[in-house]
Each structure stands twice: as C-alpha cells, then as structure tokens.
A and B are shown apart, each in its own frame.
Chain A
Amino acid sequence: MEFFLQQFTNGLTVGAIYALIALGYTMVYGVMKLINFAHGELFTLGAFIGYALLVTFGITGRVGLGLGLAISVVLVAGLVGVAGHVLERVAYRPLRHSDRLAAVVSALGASIFLQNAIMLSWGANYRSYSADLLPSVSVSIFGQSFPLLKILIFLTAVVVMLALWLFVHRTRIGMAIRAAAIDQGAAKLMGIDVSSVIAVVFVIGPALGGIAGLIVGLCYGQINFGMGQLYGLKAFTAAIIGGIGNIQGAMVGGLLLGLVEALGAAYISVAWKDALTFVVLIMILVVRPTGLLPERVAEKL
C-alpha cells in the first residue's frame, strides 16, 4: 500500500505536467483543427525564460522567494504567450485559407526553427536550475512523507485547469472561443471576430505550456533545448487519449498517462513503461476512436 501510494503520487506529478502541456495542443486543435507541433518548443522556451529569470538574473535573491516565483510565473506565461502569438501571426495566419497540410508543414518547420534558435541563444549544454533554489520541505500524509514541491505542482496544475475551465465557460471571450470551435463560419456571421479568438487561444495555450516548462525546471532542475520533444510527444498522446479538442479531456488524459507510466514502471517493467503508454493509447482508440471525452459538437472545448 505504501509502495502504491508513493507510485501514485509520482504518477500524479508527472501527469499534471503532461496535462498542462496537453491543454495547449487541445485548445489550438479545438479552434483551428491544427496540431501545433511547435508547442513542445514553446514549453522549452518557458523553461529557458524561467532559467534566465531565476538563475541568470537571480530574481528570488533580489525580491524574496515567494514574490520572485510569482513574478517568474507571470513573466514566463506572458513572454511565452507573446511568442505563441507571434508564431501564429508568422507561421499559421498566412496559411489559414490554404491546404491543411501546408499548415502542418509550417508547424513542423516552426518547431525545428524554435528548437535551434533556443540552442543558439542558450547553447547546446544542459542548463540547471540550482538545487537549492527552493527549500526542500516534506509533508506527512497518511504516515507517508511526500515532497511539498510535488504536491504544489499538482495543486498548481489543478488550479490553472479550473481557471481555464471557468474562463472558457463563464466569460464572453470563452463563449466566443466555444462558438469558433463549433463553426468558424457561423461564428463570423454572428459577429465574432474569429481572428482575435484564435489570437487569444494562441496566447493562453503557449502560456500554459511555458508554465509547465518552468515547473519542469524547478522540479527536475535540468533543462536543454531538446526537452520539448519527449514532453511534447507525451502531452500530445495525453490530448488524444482524453479526446483532442476537449479541455477536460486533456486534464484527464494527462493524469491518466502519468499514472499509467508510474504504475506500469512499478508493477510491470521500467523498460516497458513507454511501450505500455502507447498500448494504452491504442486500446483506448480502438474502443473509443475519439478519445475518452470526445468533443461533443454542442459543447466542444
């Protein structure tokens, strides 16, 4: 039982990070029917901007731990959001009325461009968030000790996801996003500015991915320019498992994927962990081709 609980929390932490990244894939897909392959690189960018703030600039040493972290989160989200917006303007908007394949190629190109741009600006070496950046505190639950950081990561992810859900379902912009997701043409006729809806989606999705990058930096300490590939792939899988285009689906898919990985490693085999992940993906797609929580046309996003 102790072993199970330990592995369960291991899985939830990893899953929460996957879920945060998966939200970016799923939101963009919901509105534009486009897989933003550069999303993994925006996640990497978040990790590196966090590195610049926390390590190079040493913000926590200047303004205190709590405030420093808060500023970092806001700045990372803001800057990566801006990067996402620029990406949309440069790589996707000119292709909005062309073939869908063209947009996919453009997305792949943007991914390669961003990855190499990050390598050239920060170098090819691994960079590290210093281990003593955050105090290491453990809390005791059910007689088990868990690192506070992991619990905070999980809670942060849940809060961010709830806020996003409220934003999409309880605000006017959110309503516009949902409308554009259902039918862009009809939304336009109803007087919704679809271009700005897409712009908003391309700010929020990358901002969440950037925050995930910052979290990975803080939690594992090691970042490099290629880190977005594996995380991007896993998060993309999570989005598909949950039903791409569906926000709740991305959360469920991410957490499920994290749990499958941790428990698979624990009870079956560490080496087969990734194979297992994709076996689960295939099984879910065989039974439910649209994912666990498929996008229902009336309530898409």
Chain B
Amino acid sequence: MRFNLAAAAALFLTLGLVLLGAQGSPAQDAAAQAPPIKIGLMGPITGPWASEGQDMEKVVNLMAEEINRNDGVNGAKVVIHSADDGGAPKTATLAAQQLIAENVVGVVGTYGSSVTEATQYIYDEAGIIQVATGSTSVRLTEKGLTRFFRTCPRDDEQGKILAQNVKGLGFKKAAIVHDNTSYAKGLADEADALFKTSGVETVSFEAITPGDRDFTATLTKLKTQNPDVIVFTGYYPEAALILRQKKEMAWDIAMIGGDATNNVALVESAGPAAAEGYYFVSPPGPSDIKGEQAAKLLDAYQKKHDVLPSSVWAILAGDAFGVLVEAVKNTGPDPAKMADFLHKDLTGYVGLTGPISFNEKGDRIGEVYRLYQVDAKGDFILK
C-alpha cells in the first residue's frame, strides 16, 4: 500500500509541475524555452593535476555564465556538465560514460595525453565531439577519428622547437630526463631523434618516477656523464624539485623543459634562486596572451577568484569551449554537422589564444610555441 501511495503522490506532483509549467510559459523569454545546449567538461578536478582541472572548470564556467547572461546560443542556454577524470585513464573512462549518459553534444578536455587517449574511442562511438585541451601527444590525432580536435599544439612541433632552441643556445651534450608518461616519453623521443640530426649529443636518457621527492641519486649520476644541459620533458612538480636539488648540490648546469613546466607553481616550489635561468618552450602563458577577449576573461577571472589561472592549459580549455559554442551557433547542436563545420568552415574565428582553425586531422593550424626563460625574480620572460 505504501508503495502505491508514494507512486500516486509522485504522479500528482509531476502533473502539478507540468500544469504549473504550462501556465507560466507566456511570460518567459525564448532562451528558457529552447532546450539547453549541454556541453561536457572532463578534467582532472582531483588527483595529481587537480589544480589544472579546477582552473579549467573555473574558466569554462565563467565563459558559460557570460554567454547565458547575453541570451545564450541561438536563444538556448548553455549548461556545463563537469566530470572528474582524476588525472587517471581508469577514472576517465567512467567520466566519459557519465557525460555520454548526460547527452552532451561535445566535450571539453582533457589535460593529460594518456588520460585523453583512454576516452577517445568511447566518445567516438557515442558520436560526441571531443576537444582536448592539454593533450599534446602526437598519436592522438593520427587515428583517423573524425570528431576529435585539440586546441593545444602537438609534441612533434614542441620537440622541433625544443631541439632548435637547445642547439640555438649553443648546447652540445644533453642529458634527457622524462617520466614515462606518454607525453613526457613522446617528447623525449622526439627531441632525442632531432638531436641526432642536429649535432647535439645525447649523453644520457633516463626516466624518473613522478611523485618522487628525492632526485639527488639521479642528479648525482647525471653529473658523472658531464652534460652541458638537462632536457627535462616531464611536469612542473618534478621540474621544480630537480631545479632545487641541483642548486643544493651546487651543480651549475642549464636546464630546459617542455610546456608541462609552464606553471607558476614551478617557481614557488623551486624558489626563484634555483629557478633562475631555467628555459622552457610553451604556448604563451596567461599573462603573455594579447587580445581583447583574453584580457576580458582574465579580468573577470581575477575578480571572481582573486588570482589568474596558473597555466595556459585552462585558457586552452576556454578555447575548446569557445569553438564548440561557435559550431553550435552555426549548425545547431548536431555533432556530425558540428564536426564538419570545425574541420572545414571554422575560418576567421579568434579565440582566447589567437586565431583558431583545424586541419583534417583535428589538429590546430599554426605555430604557437615560444621560448621562455625564468628571470631572477622568478617571472617567465618571453624570449
């Protein structure tokens, strides 16, 4: 009896809501009537890269709020569905299934290449567009997936710029250190191959364990091989520890890294004295991005959260969101048409990090990498 009572109550409630909804409608504006555009955000909200994921979420939410305040997209509100990939492939597959179940048209994210890779086919089978934001591993766009895009550049371009700069700065003997993630290993291999052709000798090719705190054993060993530069292709937490520990060892050697070390936490962790002189290649960071849109967004971000995003990846998540919205605006919320539009017709669109268009593989067109060096105050100076 109790069950029936509950069912009856639910029925009445539903009926009541429907009636109420029907009565209230004439006064409401068009935006509330059109079904909302659901866009997914998959990012590392928890886990080792949680700060990146939380920044991604903040940027995308901020942009969505702005759009909804200005009457939405073609009269429809944008709703963000967030899912936490935990920075781990295993968690990411669950996050992807969750977003698919929520019927999103496209997904922004994610940061780590190995994490994105775990979800690519899941989204593809569901027919959903995925726009990765920090996943630079080359092979992600070599699989022939028609609904995969990324707003970040690729590691082969990064490797090229990295190798050019190592040579350009006059280094002859490089010790390459990576951390066995698909991003870091890929970039290390890329750089190593290019060194061979450009006359830089690789004296050491080593892998460290991400999450370790003590790299003195590794550094002591590298020192015996007499390199004149350490090429570190991993992420900023380990880069900071290596910088600090080589300083403590009083080993005065240059170090250059990839775009995963472009995070202000690097200097905080290492201390400006140890970080001074460190080079890295990266797309321009939040404070070097020119343009009205970026300035407006960063201003709003600063007002709301008191700080700027700590890296460029959150901004690229904003760009991923931006191109998805642009596609919906032009074709309606149909993933097949949207993908077609992004491949062929996205021209003259200016995102936060400059003009964005995609080639047939879904890669962003144009060179974006720059060389940075940390100065004595710990600021990142564009070279």
Contact = CB atoms under 8 A, between A and B. Distances in A.
Contacts of B207: 270-271
Contacts of A116: 46
B136 to A, nearest CB: 21
Interface in B45-95: 46-48, 50-51, 53-54
21 contacts: A3-B220, A10-B217, A11-B217, A123-B51, A124-B51, A124-B53, A125-B51, A126-B240, A128-B265, A219-B213, A220-B213, A221-B270, A224-B237, A226-B48, A262-B217, A265-B221, A270-B221, A271-B180, A271-B206, A271-B207, A273-B209
A266 interface: yes
Contacts of B270: 131, 221
B208 interface: yes
A128 B268 contact: yes
B23 to A, nearest CB: 42
Interface of B: 46-48, 50-51, 53-54, 180, 206-209, 211-214, 216-218, 220-221, 224, 236-237, 240-241, 244-245, 248, 250, 265, 268-271, 273-274, 310
Given A10-B220, A222-B241, A119 B274 contact: no
A286 B273 CA distance: 48
B206 A220 contact: no
Contacts of B245: 220
Contact of A125 (B248, B265, B271): B265
Interface residues of A, number: 42
A219 B245 CA distance: 10
A10 B180 contact: no
B221 A266 contact: yes
Contact of B214 (A13, A136, A269): A13
A107 to B, nearest CB: 20
A234 to B, nearest CB: 9
A68 B120 CA distance: 52
A4 to B, nearest CB: 10
A10 B216 contact: yes
From B47, B48, B217, B274, residue with most partner A Cβ within 10 Å: B217
B244 A125 contact: no
A266 B217 contact: yes
A88 interface: no
Contact of A265 (B217, B237, B269, B310): B217
B208 A270 contact: yes
A119 B206 CA distance: 31
Interface string A202-230: 00000000000000100111101111011
Given A123-B51, A274-B209, A222 B240 contact: yes
Nearest to B47: A226
A226 B211 contact: yes
Interface in A256-279: 261-262, 265-266, 269-271, 273-274
A124 B50 contact: yes
Given A221-B240, A270-B206, A273-B217, 10 more contacts: A7-B217, A7-B220, A11-B217, A13-B214, A124-B46, A125-B50, A227-B211, A262-B216, A266-B217, A271-B207
A252 B255 CA distance: 36
A123 B268 CA distance: 15
Contacts of A274: 209
A230 B208 CA distance: 14
Given A3-B224, A116-B46, A224-B237, A126 B268 contact: yes
A124 B208 CA distance: 23
A269 B245 CA distance: 19
A147 B212 CA distance: 20
A130 interface: yes
- Would you list the 9 A-B pairs with minimal beta carbon distance, nearest first? A131-B271, A124-B50, A271-B207, A265-B217, A262-B217, A125-B51, A220-B213, A270-B206, A10-B216
B271 A130 contact: yes
Nearest to B177: A270
Contacts of B237: 126, 222, 224
A216 B213 contact: yes
A219 B53 CA distance: 28
A126 B221 contact: no
A7 B271 CA distance: 25
B222 to A, nearest CB: 9
Contact of B213 (A6, A147, A227): A227
Interface string A125-160: 110101110001010000001010000000000000
A54 interface: no
A48 to B, nearest CB: 15
Given A147-B248, A216-B213, A220-B241, A124 B54 contact: yes
